[in-house]
Each structure stands twice: as structure tokens, then as C-alpha cells.
Amino acid sequence: MDRINITYNERPELKDPIFIEGLPGVGNVGKIAADHLKDELKAKKFATVHSRHFPPQVLVGDDGVIRLVNNEMYYHRGSNSDKGKGKNDIIFLVGDYQGLSPEGQYELADAMLDLAVHMKVRRIFTLGGYGLGRMVEKPRVLGATTNHQLKKEMMGHGVVFAEGEPGAGIVGASGLLLGLGEMRGIEGVCLMGETSGYFVDPNSAREVLRVLVKAIGVEVDYGALEAKAEQVEKLTSRFKDLEKGIQDGRKQEDLNYIG
Amino acid sequence: MDRINITYNERPELKDPIFIEGLPGVGNVGKIAADHLKDELKAKKFATVHSRHFPPQVLVGDDGVIRLVNNEMYYHRGSNSDKGKGKNDIIFLVGDYQGLSPEGQYELADAMLDLAVHMKVRRIFTLGGYGLGRMVEKPRVLGATTNHQLKKEMMGHGVVFAEGEPGAGIVGASGLLLGLGEMRGIEGVCLMGETSGYFVDPNSAREVLRVLVKAIGVEVDYGALEAKAEQVEKLTSRFKDLEKGIQDGRKQEDLNYIG
Amino acid sequence: MDRINITYNERPELKDPIFIEGLPGVGNVGKIAADHLKDELKAKKFATVHSRHFPPQVLVGDDGVIRLVNNEMYYHRGSNSDKGKGKNDIIFLVGDYQGLSPEGQYELADAMLDLAVHMKVRRIFTLGGYGLGRMVEKPRVLGATTNHQLKKEMMGHGVVFAEGEPGAGIVGASGLLLGLGEMRGIEGVCLMGETSGYFVDPNSAREVLRVLVKAIGVEVDYGALEAKAEQVEKLTSRFKDLEKGIQDGRKQEDLNYIG
Amino acid sequence: MDRINITYNERPELKDPIFIEGLPGVGNVGKIAADHLKDELKAKKFATVHSRHFPPQVLVGDDGVIRLVNNEMYYHRGSNSDKGKGKNDIIFLVGDYQGLSPEGQYELADAMLDLAVHMKVRRIFTLGGYGLGRMVEKPRVLGATTNHQLKKEMMGHGVVFAEGEPGAGIVGASGLLLGLGEMRGIEGVCLMGETSGYFVDPNSAREVLRVLVKAIGVEVDYGALEAKAEQVEKLTSRFKDLEKGIQDGRKQEDLNYIG
């Protein structure tokens, strides 16, 4: 195996495809959103990415059968095959891990962009979470783009561009695909759902998807996503109560200072 | 020295060999099991592996003579040379260390598989421990395979396939040799003995061997292994008492909650 | 992208340029000083450096538009274009990050020196902070050079050469550009402003600049820098009070020992 | 600069040279011993080693002049040039650092051995410290060799070969030069002076030298080394008192258990 191996099980010819990345990250928001959209659109796998930059690990399925950790690429045909719901063909990049080292991240992003350029991708959407370090009731979807025109367009879909957010920039594949993509003539936007950063967050992923589907002109059902959100809700509600208790305690203290 | 150096002191011609890996890992279960089987079968060394992916270290023998840390490969002839006890020829991969970095792990596994393909290996057994974080009285042997047929066969030898175990997948050589091996047409199974993860565990290694010898049709004596197990037992019994004390204390507390 | 990519938007012909490096480091002293001088002299950008040795990250501007983290190179024309204020042309190396790994640091410094040799640089100034671990009222500017003649010259501009300082040597770009530069026939000096190391320190950066402008024969206005210094002053004054309190407490204790 | 750069200021022709390595390590025992012997024998520098595997750092001399961190090689002519005191020519490897990464350690050791093979080195002495984690009054000199004959010879010079010591093997250049050297037909021994591991230890270095000079047939004065040892003694005596106090306390406690 080379440092990056892309194995194709199909070589689809696509028309002006958009590229959607959703890999593991803060709250797994991007991964959950991209996986859900890919599943809902019944996208087809056409390539598997293995790499020495991923952990040296196999995953074990519930059937006891292993597979090497990887990234996978799917495609979805737009207007023609999808009853007119979508305009553009779509390529998905989803997977188990991002590259472990900085160099690995750059090399993987470059390899994905080689493929994107070859397939004539014009626009990239990268999906992620924006960790706030506190529970979020109504997550906003923050944006960052490669140009002002695209920013204006995204604001029309409800994406929030807030000065100074995210202050630390965007780390990993969601950032590099935009930054390196721009150097190769591909515009792009990163959609970041606000999230606590403590748990996987299907709720934030749904908010990201709500914006994304408007931007790319498809429709999806959120049922499966909401079921996941409820599961997580149950697991985390106890944590929320605890946090609320702490905050209430603080307020009490604050009053003590004054009174 | 290149990044990986394989030095051959013999180039055995083997017939349909199976490949058994047992390198250091959780509880050293895989290493202990493979070393014991190799010793019992009086397997012969045919290759030494040095690598820049191992620690920069020499070991000092009891005689004061050093040797560079390495991995070693042994072979055992089956039906013909072993009084009919075994069917297949066997190749062993044992050693002092696994690769230190993720990239090193991939590169070493690839090099081992180059050799396995060249020697026409058809099946790989990787041996390891499954850390539970608590003392284990009767360790089960969990399995993960590259296909369903092999899974069925292994269940017949008493291997347990439990949904969701191991949840974190299999990290290191025991995982990669299966995952990368499958991509090169070699089927494989990982046998994992349950172990606390706190100590080296010859007891768990014996349980792994009991399954393995049935699967490959050889017989071994466990005397040396049981002697080791007793030694460890003595060293760890004090720890067990302590743990039991803690648990008893907890139960006491639990009762307090109720009563 | 290769491991280091230098993109030129201009290829200026310069006469005997001096090279000034100011990248992030202790107290960001070097970065603040070099950025300020570059801005005051209205230096022009001629090259952008991207590298796999930088973090895999994009920064998001206040306008919501991203750019890949980088280093940038600027030039300033001396006597002819700058109303006679300066004698030499100047090249600036500024940026978001230094290389993350030791190997990356060496590779980046080598690449910068390739360019410096090509552009006939004769002298390098590297700017940095010297962390003292305590608040500093009047920061001195310490120096280290590639030869004694340059040391003498720098002492004439008020640079302090104190035996045993900095004891740990100079780590990173500010050190390597001198050490590797000397091997390629370029002399150089590192100017280090004393700083606590706890905060970004525009105050220390101004002291470094005061020395530097004398050495290179230009004049600058410190207004913008002093505004920054005041901002930081406000943020850190509380910390200083606290430290003073601790020290006063200590003195009290010391007296107790005696009395 | 390549990953390893060796610059020669002289290309001495040597006769059957022995190779002595003393780089920084536990208690800096090996470095202190090799530096002292090199200075006493007035060995001449013939090569400088720079490497991307060293830290990206320059050191600043007391005169304020910098130099890039490095390793240096010296030679000493034996019988002919040294008034008959020594039999063999000697090559010294000394320096500021060892390689930072495992790969770097291997690559540097290989480069040194390329040079050793080219210069027809037949025997390597590597010098180091053996950390005991407690203060040592009379440090023994432990040994490890590449063959039994050399072990016997070393025992005749007072080197101690103790079963199970050092238990963890020998990590770094002192180990690799032996392990990799043996693979290239060069025999070698590692001499390890017992040391606490808490401080630099000229006292242990002197014991290592006492053995080494017998083995290579030279004579040295220990004056400079003893002066250093006294300095360290003063600095550490307070620590020893403290440790003694703790031990006395423990003994007291032990008595309490009994009484």
C-alpha cells in the first residue's frame, strides 16, 4: 500500500458535481450530517480511500467481520436521475477518521482535490461542528467561504457570518479542502453547526443539513436523524440538569455578592 | 539499514503455510501464546526483521551480550515432519516490539504481507489480548474474521463472536495483517483472549492457544505456560484481594443506599 | 502541494538587501516588531509560503473569508524609493506559524535561505522574545550574532550581550536562519526583547525596533504599537498587581526571617 | 542541508582506529567521559555533523556568538604521535544532542557507521550512564558487548557484567552503534557508569574512564574532572542530606513496625 490508496469500484461520469465533505470532528456534526444526506439520497459508493495517515486499525462489525479503517466516496446524480429534486450531481467524502498528522492531513486533502479537479468539481461544501464548551439549545449554523459572492449566497440560506467566529480558524479537512481548493480554482464554504463539543450532536447536524439542502436544492427526511437526536438527548439530559444546577448555583452566588 | 531490513538465514519452501502473528500488546497475550507454540513445535528461525520503526534500542542478554531489537520469523513443517500431528506448514511472526508510529505499523504489516504472499500463505491467525479493565477468572476467546465462512469455522472451535466486542476495533499488527491481508486475498482471524490489561497474562494466552491448536490441528503441552501463569498469579493475588476488598466495600455501600 | 510551496506575485530585483525575520514565538515579540516595521515602511508582498509543516488550518477573516495559514515575504526599497531614509533594500519574512516539527523547521529555514542566497542577502536580522518568567518593566534587548565584528556593531546600537544569556540557546526560525545562514556565507544577528512570556508584548517589540531601526538606518512611528501596548497593559495590569502582592508578601516573609 | 550533513575540515588516514562515542544521556556520564578524554589527549576535530534530526536550535557562546547544534568527530594518533602512550588511533564522536526521533537515531547511527567502516574501525566503545534512581557512593561500571571474547577482556579491566542489568536494554546511540555495528562486522562494548540519574555526574564519568583507559592503553589526568565533580558535589550535597533524612525516617518507621 502507498501512503494513500484510492480503489475505485466505479468511475462515474458526473456533470458539474458539488463536493460535500463530512468527516469526524467536533461533535461529529459534519460526519453525521453528510452520512445522513448520503443515505437519504441513496448515493452510491464509487471509491474507497486507505492511508498510512489513518490509525493502524480495523473495525469489527456486529457480524464479527473486520474492515480496515477508511474514507469512502459516494456519488448522487442530480436532475436526471433524482426526479428533478436536485440540480447538481453530488460527490460525498465520508469516513472513519481524518489524517492523524499535520502532513497526513495536507497529503490527504491534496489527493481528494486531485480527484475533485479531475471530476470537474466547481464548489465544495465542508461540514463541521463549532464547539462552544456549553450546552446549546438552538444551534446556529456559522459559515466561512473562499469569496464574498458565495458568502452573500449562503447568508440567503440562513448561514450566520459572525465577526471573530470561529476565532481559531478551521482545523483539519474542513479547512484544508477550502484553503487548498481555492488555490486550485474551486470555491467552497464551510458550514459549522454550533455544538457543546461534549457529545455527538445529531441536533446540530440537522441544523447544518437544513441550510445545506436549501443551498443545493434537494429535500430530505429528518426522521432517522431525529431518532438519533432523541437517543443522545436522553443520555445527555442528566448532564444538562447538572450544568443548570451549577449555573443556578452561580446565579445564587452572584446575588449574594450584591445583597 | 533501510527502513525495514529482512535478513534470511534460510529460505524454506513451505506447502500452503498458515501464518501466526503474536507480537507484544495488551497483557502480552498474543506474544506469550505465539512464543509458546513456536517453542513447543520446535519451529526454526528463518528470518530476522530490523526496522527504523522499532525503538532505537539493544537488549542485553543474561550473558551480557547485546542484540538489536527485532521481529523474528520461524517455520514449522506440518504433516511430514511432525509425526502427522499437524496438517499445514506454519510461519510464526514473533518479536520484541511493534512499529512505534502509525506509518511504521502500516509499512511493517505491508512488508510481512509481501513475504506472506510470496510464500503462498492462505490464512493468517493474529493473536492478542482484549483488555477488560478488571480481573478475569475464566477468560473467553473473542474472534474477528475477514469473512463469514471463517467465522462459522472458528465458532466450531469455541471462539466467541460477541456483538459490539471489541468496540474499539483491533489496533496494531493484529488488526492490520487482517485488514491489509484481505486486500491481498489472504483470509484471516484475530483471536483475542480476555485479560485485565494490568499484567502479562499467560492464563489468557493458554485459552487462546486451546482454541488455536484445535483450529490448526496440532497438540501442545501447557506445562511451561502454566508455570508462568502461577508465577504471575502469585504476584497479582495481592492485587486481586485489594480489588475484591474494594468491590465488597462498594456492595456494602450499595446496601447502605437501600437500607 | 509540495512540502513547501513558494508562490511569487512579483520578482523584485533588490540591491544588497537585508533580511528581517519576525515569526510567532515567545511573547510574539519578533512577529509584532517585524509586522509593525513592514507596515510602517509600506513594504510590498512579493511571495507567499505554504507548507505541510504548518498546521492543517485555515484562518477566517472578519469578513468570513478564509485563507490557508502561511508565511509571507515583503520587500522595501531603500535609499531610492524611501526618500533617502534607508540605505539598504529590505526583505521581510512574517507569518502565522513556524514549522511544527524539528525537521519542518530545518526544511523551512533552508528554503528561506535558498531564496536569500538567490536574492544576494548579506545580513539577516531575526527578531524574538526572551522569556524571563516574571513581569519586566524596562525590557533590555539581548543579542547573539554569527561573528564578533557584528557583535561590536550591535553593541554600538545598544544591544546587550550578557554572558550566559540566553542560556538555552535560540530555538526555532530565529536561531536556524542564523546557524544555517552562516554556513552559507550570510552573517546575522538575533535581537531578543526581554518579556515575561505570559502575554503578547508590544512593549518589548518596541524596544527591539528601537535598536533595529538604528542598525538599519530607517525611522518609524510607534503610535500603532503603543496603542497595542496600552491595550495589553490594561489586560495585564491586574496580573501585575497580583504578582506584586505575592512579592510584597515574600518580602514580608523575608523580613520575618531576619527580625 | 540534507537530513544529515557531515563536513570535513580534515581527512585523516588512521591505522586500525577504535571509535569512542560519548553523547548526552543519563547523567551525561558518557558525554563527560568522552569530552574529558578527547581534551586530555588533545584530539583534533576533523568533522562536524549537522542534522535535521537534532533540535532546531543554535547555542550562544559566552562571547555572544552562535553555532548550530551539532555532533563533532575528533581523532587522536596512537603509538607514533603520542609518545608511545597509546597503541591504537582513536576516533571520538561527541556532541550537543542525540537524534530526537527513533528514525533519526537509526539514520544517524547508520551514517556514523558508514564513516567507521570507511575508516576501518574494528572496535567501538560507547559510554553512558546507568540510572539507579538513588544516590550512588561508589559507582560500578557495567558492561554489555557484542561477543563473549570481548566480555572476557573487559572483565579483566574491572567491568561488571551483572545478570539482568541493564534490564531495559540500552536506548539511543550507545545501543544502536553496537547493534548496527555488529551487523557490519564491528565489535563493540558499552561501558555504563552507575549514577543517580538526577544530576550530571562527573564522578561516574571518572569511573568509566578508569576502565576505558586500561582497555585502550592510554593515561589521563583526572584533575579537571575532579574539579567538576566537586562543584556538582557541593550542589547536590544538600539533596543527599535530604535523601538521607528520608531514609533515616524510614528506618525509624521500620523500627516502629517492629517495636
pLDDT averaged over 10-residue windows placed end to end, chain A, 259 residues: 94 95 97 98 98 98 96 88 64 98 98 97 97 92 97 97 88 98 97 95 97 94 92 81 68 44
- pLDDT at site C248: 66
Contacts with C, D 69-108, CB within 8 Å: 69, 100
| CB contacts, 8 Å: B179 with chain A | 58, 66-69
d(CA A73, nearest CA chain B) in Å: 18
pLDDT of residue C244 exceeding 90, the answer is no
Grid coordinates of D201 = 555526574
- pLDDT at site D127: 98
Please say whether the beta carbons of A75 and A12 come within 8 A.
yes
CB contact under 8 A, D56 and C190: no
Q: Is B2 on the interface with D (CB under 8 A)?
A: no
Using alpha carbons, select from C55, C50, C43, C54 the residue that is nearest to residue C17. C43
Q: Could you tell me what percentage of chain C is helix, strand and coil, using 3-state DSSP and rounding each to the nearest 5?
A: 40, 25, 35
- pLDDT at site A257: 41
- pLDDT at site B252: 52
| CB contacts, 8 Å: B60 with chain D | 144, 165-166, 169-170
ipTM value greater than 0.85: yes
Q: Is B58 on the interface with D (CB under 8 A)?
A: yes
- pLDDT at site B234: 87
Q: What is the mean pLDDT of chain C?
A: 91
Q: Shortest CB distance from C65 goes to which of A99, A151, A176?
A: A151
Cβ-based contacts under 8 A for chains C and D: 80
CB contact under 8 A, A179 and C58: yes
Bigger pLDDT: B236 vs C18 = C18
> What's the pTM value of the predicted model, to 2 decimals?
0.91
CA distance B169 to B165: 8
CB contact under 8 A, A145 and C65: yes
Does D166 sit behind a cis peptide bond, omega within 30 degrees of 0 on the bond before it?
yes
- Which CATH superfamily is B4-223 part of? PAC-like subunit (3.40.50.10900)
- pLDDT at site A252: 52
Touch between chain C and chain B: 3 or more Cβ pairs under 8 Å: no
B86-117: pLDDT as tens digits? 579 999 999 999 999 999 999 999 999 999 99
**Residue of chain D whose Cα is closest to the Cα of C100:** D56
- pLDDT at site A259: 35
Q: Shortest CB distance from A66 goes to which of B106, B173, B179?
A: B179
The parts of chain B modelled with pLDDT lower than 70 are 80-86, 246-259
C4-222: CATH topology is Rossmann fold (3.40.50)
pLDDT tens digits in sequence order for chain D, 259 residues long: 889 999 999 999 999 899 999 999 999 999 999 999 999 999 999 999 999 999 999 999 999 999 999 999 999 998 744 444 457 999 999 999 999 999 999 999 999 999 999 999 999 999 999 999 998 989 999 999 999 999 999 999 999 999 888 888 999 999 999 999 999 999 999 999 999 999 999 999 999 999 999 999 999 999 999 999 998 888 888 777 777 776 666 555 444 443 3
- pLDDT at site A238: 75
CB contact under 8 A, A106 and C1: yes
Which of C53, C105, C106, C110 would best serve as a mutation to test chain D binding (most D beta carbons within 10 A)?
C106
DSSP states of B169-207 = -EESHHHHHHHHHHHTT-EEEEEEEEE-SSS--HHHHHH
CB contact under 8 A, D64 and C143: yes
Q: What does DSSP assign to residue B81? A: T
Residue C127 parent element (H or E): strand C123-131
Given this structure, which CATH class describes domain A4-221?
alpha beta
CA distance B199 to C67: 50
Task: Give the contacts of B19 (CB within 8 A, at least 6 positions apart).
Answer: B90, B91, B93, B116, B121, B123, B124, B125, B177, B186
d(CA A156, nearest CA chain B) in Å: 42
d(CA C109, nearest CA chain D) in Å: 10
Query: Domain spans of chain D?
Result: 4-222
Strands in chain B per DSSP E: 4-8, 18-22, 44-51, 57-60, 66-68, 71-76, 90-95, 123-131, 141-145, 170-171, 187-195
Q: Shortest CB distance from B60 goes to which of D147, D170, D173?
A: D170
| CB contacts, 8 Å: D66 with chain C | 144-146, 169-170, 175, 178-179, 182, 190
Q: Is C209 on the interface with D (CB under 8 A)?
A: no
Task: Give the contacts of C224 (CB within 8 A, at least 6 positions apart).
Answer: C36, C39, C40
